[in-house]
């Protein structure tokens, strides 16, 4: 019997069917054009990154070619060439690994650590909560970029350290958000109902409260992917990011800045790539939030 | 000797807040007989829910004792309490926030059973059968077994909450305003359901409400609370026929049908509820009482038995004679 039939008829089949949350989320996501667009774009970006591993070597993107400087976009160089005669398209393709790694990696670090600490803070309260909130206050009192630079300087240069630094810098925001969300969810009576059947606090926190507190975090996360990519760009520009000849997208934008009038393609194309992934992540995040909330399902 | 399933002795629950200590429940004592219903009435914020939650140990009392079936459960550890919890359940007021929006009816009703391994060794089908039985018991159509709570109306949601409470075969249920959030037409259905269940399963209820007409229909005994304290306690018919405490009188006159030319006996509740934060040592009703006299500020009045089973806490009421005289608003 198909699942549709089991739900459609008013007095009809009453077969118990485990409703798969994953399938229902997917079904709901499918019907949201924005989310589908976002998903396709993210998939294309990942595909691009994978392809770049196969197609190009490090040599291809750092080698200087004095004869082909500042060429306009053409059939041969789709996105033109830069001040050292390197193909911009190739550099963008190759650079996707850095930008995506920083975007997703930093957000992952911030999200996981932030949610764990924030949930503890919101759920258990008391002295722990106060301590954690003061820690957040301190963390957010320091300007983000400065904190990042300090961390990179302390950890040393390199992609992983960059990613960790950006992630850590965003933790305070996640903690606050997770805490607020958990606090709101914790007050629901179903939490007390779980207590009344004998569930332990930890179990309640994990099985009842946390799953119902995630929506705002998902939205924030999707927005943050973009801002992490931008942070990485800024840091690269200041010399704290990925080492110079490597084509991290932010570095491409800031590197081309000097030739804005002479060769606008040098900044425009990487800029568009950053913008599109930002937009796609936001759409996907919105769609995911709706799809994950059973109350919003049709 | 009465067969008391619940005995509450000098129960206190205080909350420390930045503004002071909230005396949510202050020195409350009473018994509930097996198979009976104790109605608890009082204005919003008087501590009814807190009382109910402390009795079944959803919160830990600040002081006092709760005795269930002859056993003191006040100081049981969580582990020891776990077995007790099967017997002590609660039905909540808000049918929206009392059900986890991410779980289907099947998951909500089976969760207590699975979590407590009540049907250890039985197959999934057996658990499902049990859930269906429970759905029948509370009058939920079986086709709703796959639904999420938000797909159902308030009355059905409340039935899910009742089925969840029943799934552990409880003996005592705290009904915390189980119908206040429902339409009037559905209120009666749910009340009847609760009454039938009580008869069939021999349940004991503590029925919390601020609606006196509901409590009259439902209760054997009634406890009237004001700012964390019991001000009057009596069998339902006695309380309705012969309310003595000024607060009870005011509550009851509020539900009488108003006469066109004004009801001369009508006593309205003046002023606002005094705060339960750091209350002074005087009758807590003084600021709103129509009968106030000199003795009212002389400490908190004790609960005294003025006739068999009829208890009142008011300085102006003595077993040897009631000296209450209306001094305000005559
Ligand atoms: N966790 C808490 N912390 C601080 N104060 C609390 C807490 N829980 C309850 N209170 C206070 O205790 C008092 C009694 O609250 P309670 O919820 O028991 O009242 P109630 O009689 O059930 O009211 P209602 O009819 O609105 O449900 C209120 O003043 C409330 O503000
Ligand atoms: S003690 Fe005084 S103030 Fe309190 S209820 Fe009695 S008459 Fe009213
Ligand atoms: Mg209440």
- Asked if the structure places residue A20 within a domain, the reply is no
Residues surrounding ion ligand 3 at CB below 5 Å: B 49
Testing the interface with A: which of B68, B97, B176, B208 to mutate, by most A Cβ within 10 A? B97
pLDDT above 90 coverage of chain A, percent: 49
Chain A residues whose beta carbon lies within 8 Å of the beta carbon of residue B140: none
pLDDT at residue A9, rounded to an integer:
42
Contact A16 B99 (CB under 8 A): no
pLDDT(A180) > 70:
yes
pLDDT band for position A58 (cuts 50, 70, 90): confident
Per residue in B16-29, pLDDT (tens digit) is: 998 889 999 999 99
Beta-carbon contacts of B80 under 8 Å, excluding residues fewer than 6 positions away, are none
pLDDT(A298) > 60:
no
Strand, helix or coil for residue A14: coil
Kindly list the structural domains of chain B, giving each domain's residue range(s) and its CATH number in brackets, ordered by start. Answer: 4-242 (3.40.50.300)
- Asked if the structure places residue A281 within a domain, the reply is yes
Chain mean position to CA A294: 23
pLDDT at residue B328, rounded to an integer:
64
Of A15-19, A76-80, B57-61, B212-216, least confident by mean pLDDT is A15-19
- Asked if the structure places residue A22 within a domain, the reply is no
How far apart are alpha carbons A181 and A175 in whole angstroms?
10
Q: How many domains does chain A have?
A: 1
Beta-carbon contacts of B305 under 8 Å, excluding residues fewer than 6 positions away, are B311, B319
Is the CB of residue B95 less than 8 Å from the CB of residue B162?
Answer: no
pLDDT at residue B318, rounded to an integer:
73
Per residue in A143-168, pLDDT (tens digit) is: 988 898 899 889 988 888 989 999 99
pLDDT band for position A34 (cuts 50, 70, 90): very high
Q: In A, what residues contact B, Cβ < 8 A? A: 6-7, 10-14, 16-17, 19, 21, 187-190, 192-200, 208, 211-212, 293-295, 297
Beta-carbon contacts of A98 under 8 Å, excluding residues fewer than 6 positions away, are A159, A232, A242, A246, A247, A248, A249
Please choose, from the candidates B75, B317, B39, B73, the residue with its C-alpha nearest in 3D space to the C-alpha of residue B198: B39
- Asked if the structure places residue A1 within a domain, the reply is no
- Asked if the structure places residue A177 within a domain, the reply is yes
pLDDT band for position B228 (cuts 50, 70, 90): very high
Per residue in B245-286, pLDDT (tens digit) is: 999 998 888 776 554 555 555 566 766 666 788 888 889 998
Residue A217 sits in a domain whose CATH number is 1.10.3720.10
Over range A168-173, report the average pLDDT.
92
How far apart are alpha carbons A238 and A205 in whole angstroms?
42
Q: Which of A5-14, A230-239, B113-122 has the highest mean pLDDT?
A: B113-122
Domain with A94, as residue range(s), is 34-296
Please choose, from the candidates A85, A95, A145, the residue with its C-alpha nearest in 3D space to the C-alpha of residue A250: A95
- Asked if the structure places residue A5 within a domain, the reply is no
> For residue B272, which phi and psi values (nearest 5 degrees)?
-105, 160
pLDDT(A5) > 60:
no
Of A202-216, B30-44, B270-284, least confident by mean pLDDT is B270-284
Of A88-97, A98-107, A212-221, B188-197, least confident by mean pLDDT is A212-221
Number of residues that make up chain B: 330
Over range A27-43, report the average pLDDT.
93
Which is the closest atom of ligand 1 to the Cα of B16?
A: 4
Task: Out of A21, A196, A208, name the one closest to residue B90 (CB).
Answer: A196
How far apart are alpha carbons A233 and A103 in whole angstroms?
11
Per the prediction, chain B carries an average pLDDT of: 89
pLDDT(A268) > 90:
yes
Neighbours of A60 (CB within 10 A): 15
Per the prediction, chain A carries an average pLDDT of: 87
The set of protein residues with a Cβ atom below 6 angstroms from ligand 1 is B 15, 17, 22, 24, 42, 44-50, 210, 276
Task: Out of B98, B148, B150, name the one closest to residue A193 (CB).
Answer: B98
pLDDT at residue B153, rounded to an integer:
93
> For residue B222, which phi and psi values (nearest 5 degrees)?
-130, 135
pLDDT(A67) > 80:
yes
Please choose, from the candidates A19, A103, A93, A97, the residue with its C-alpha nearest in 3D space to the C-alpha of residue A285: A103
Measured CA to CA in angstroms, residue B153 lies from A11, A16, B65, B140 at distances of 17, 20, 39, 12
Neighbours of A293 (CB within 10 A): 18
Reported ipTM: 0.88
> For residue B318, which phi and psi values (nearest 5 degrees)?
-120, 150
pLDDT band for position A1 (cuts 50, 70, 90): very low
- pTM for this prediction: 0.85
Please choose, from the candidates B214, B191, B226, the residue with its C-alpha nearest in 3D space to the C-alpha of residue B91: B191
pLDDT at residue A7, rounded to an integer:
45
Of A93-97, A229-233, B141-145, B195-199, least confident by mean pLDDT is A229-233
Per residue in B87-133, pLDDT (tens digit) is: 999 999 999 999 999 999 999 999 999 999 998 888 889 999 999 99
Over range A251-280, report the average pLDDT.
90
pLDDT(A12) > 50:
no
- Asked if the structure places residue A196 within a domain, the reply is yes
Strand, helix or coil for residue A15: coil
Neighbours of B327 (CB within 10 A): 12
- Asked if the structure places residue A13 within a domain, the reply is no
Neighbours of A15 (CB within 10 A): 14
How far apart are alpha carbons A267 and A249 in whole angstroms?
9
How far apart are alpha carbons A152 and B102 in whole angstroms?
41
Strand, helix or coil for residue B88: strand
Contact A196 B145 (CB under 8 A): no
Residue B168 buriedness (CB in 10 A; 0-12 / 13-18 / 19+): buried
In degrees, rounded to 5, the angle at the alpha carbon of residue B276 between the alpha carbons of residues B275 and B282 is 95
More confident residue, A296 or A249: A249
| Helices A21-30 + A33-55 axis angle, to 10 | 100
pLDDT band for position A2 (cuts 50, 70, 90): very low
pLDDT at residue B266, rounded to an integer:
57
pLDDT(A132) > 60:
yes
Q: What dihedral do alpha carbons A155, A157, A159, A164 form, nearest 10°?
A: 20
Give the residue on A whose Cα is nearest the Cα of B174. A196
């Amino acid at each position: 019997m198909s699942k549709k039939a089991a739900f459609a008829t008013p007095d009809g089949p009453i077969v118990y069917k485990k409703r798969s949350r994953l399938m229902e989320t997917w079904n709901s996501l499918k019907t949201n054009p924005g989310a589908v667009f976002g998903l396709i774009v993210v998939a294309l970006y990942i595909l691009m990154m994978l392809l770049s591993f196969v197609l190009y070597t490090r040599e291809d993107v750092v080698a200087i070619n004095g004869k082909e400087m500042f060429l306009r976009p053409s059939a041969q160089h789709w996105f033109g060439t830069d001040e050292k005669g390197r193909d911009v398209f190739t550099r963008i393709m190759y650079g996707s690994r850095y930008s995506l790694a920083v975007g997703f990696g930093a957000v992952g670090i911030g999200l996981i650590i932030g949610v764990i600490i924030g949930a503890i803070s919101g759920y258990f309260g008391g002295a722990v909560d106060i301590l954690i909130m003061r820690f957040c206050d301190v963390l957010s009192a320091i300007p983000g970029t400065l904190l990042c630079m300090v961390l990179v300087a302390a950890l040393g240069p390199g992609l992983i350290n960059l990613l960790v630094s950006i992630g850590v810098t965003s933790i305070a925001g996640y903690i606050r958000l997770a805490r607020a969300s958990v606090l709101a969810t914790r007050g629901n009576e179903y939490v007390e109902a779980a207590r009344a059947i004998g569930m332990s606090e930890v179990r309640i926190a994990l099985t009842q409260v946390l799953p119902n507190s995630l929506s705002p975090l998902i939205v924030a996360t999707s927005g943050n992917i973009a801002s992490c990519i931008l942070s990485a760009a800024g840091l690269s520009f200041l010399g704290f990011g990925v080492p110079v000849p490597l084509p991290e997208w932010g570095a491409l934008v800031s590197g081309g800045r000097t030739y804005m009038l002479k060769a606008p393609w040098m900044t425009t194309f990487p800029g568009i790539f950053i913008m599109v992934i930002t937009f796609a992540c936001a759409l996907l995040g919105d769609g995911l939030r709706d799809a994950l909330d059973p109350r919003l399902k049709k | 000797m009465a067969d008391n399933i619940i005995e509450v002795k000098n129960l206190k629950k205080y909350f420390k807040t930045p503004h002071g200590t909230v005396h949510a429940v202050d020195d409350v004592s009473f018994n509930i007989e097996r198979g009976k219903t104790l109605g608890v009435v009082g204005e919003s914020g008087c501590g009814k829910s807190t009382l109910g939650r402390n009795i079944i140990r959803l919160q830990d009392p600040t002081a006092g004792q709760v005795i269930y079936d002859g056993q003191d459960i006040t100081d049981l550890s969580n582990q020891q309490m776990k077995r007790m919890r099967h017997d002590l359940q609660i039905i909540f007021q808000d049918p929206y926030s009392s059900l986890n929006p991410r779980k289907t009816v099947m998951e909500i009703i089976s969760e207590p059973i699975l979590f407590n391994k009540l049907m250890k060794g039985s197959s999934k089908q057996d658990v499902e059968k049990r859930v269906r039985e429970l759905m029948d018991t509370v009058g939920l159509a079986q086709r709703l077994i796959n639904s999420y709570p938000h797909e159902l109306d308030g009355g059905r949601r409340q039935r899910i909450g009742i089925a969840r409470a029943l799934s552990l075969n409880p003996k005592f249920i705290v009904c915390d305003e189980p119908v206040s959030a429902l339409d009037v037409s559905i209120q009666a259905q749910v009340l009847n359901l609760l009454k039938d269940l009580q008869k069939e399963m021999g349940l004991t209820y503590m029925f919390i409400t601020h609606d006196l007409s509901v409590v009259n229909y439902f209760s054997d005994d009634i406890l009237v609370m004001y700012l964390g304290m019991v001000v009057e306690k009596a069998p339902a018919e006695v309380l309705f026929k012969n309310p003595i405490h000024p607060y009870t009188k005011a509550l009851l006159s509020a539900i009488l049908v108003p006469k066109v030319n004004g009801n001369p006996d009508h006593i309205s509740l003046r002023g606002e509820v005094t705060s339960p934060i750091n209350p002074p040592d005087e009758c807590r009703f003084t600021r709103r009482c129509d009968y106030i006299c000199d003795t009212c500020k002389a400490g908190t009045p004790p609960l005294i038995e003025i006739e068999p089973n009829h208890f009142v806490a008011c300085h102006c009421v003595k077993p040897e004679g009631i000296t209450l005289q209306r001094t305000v608003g005559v």
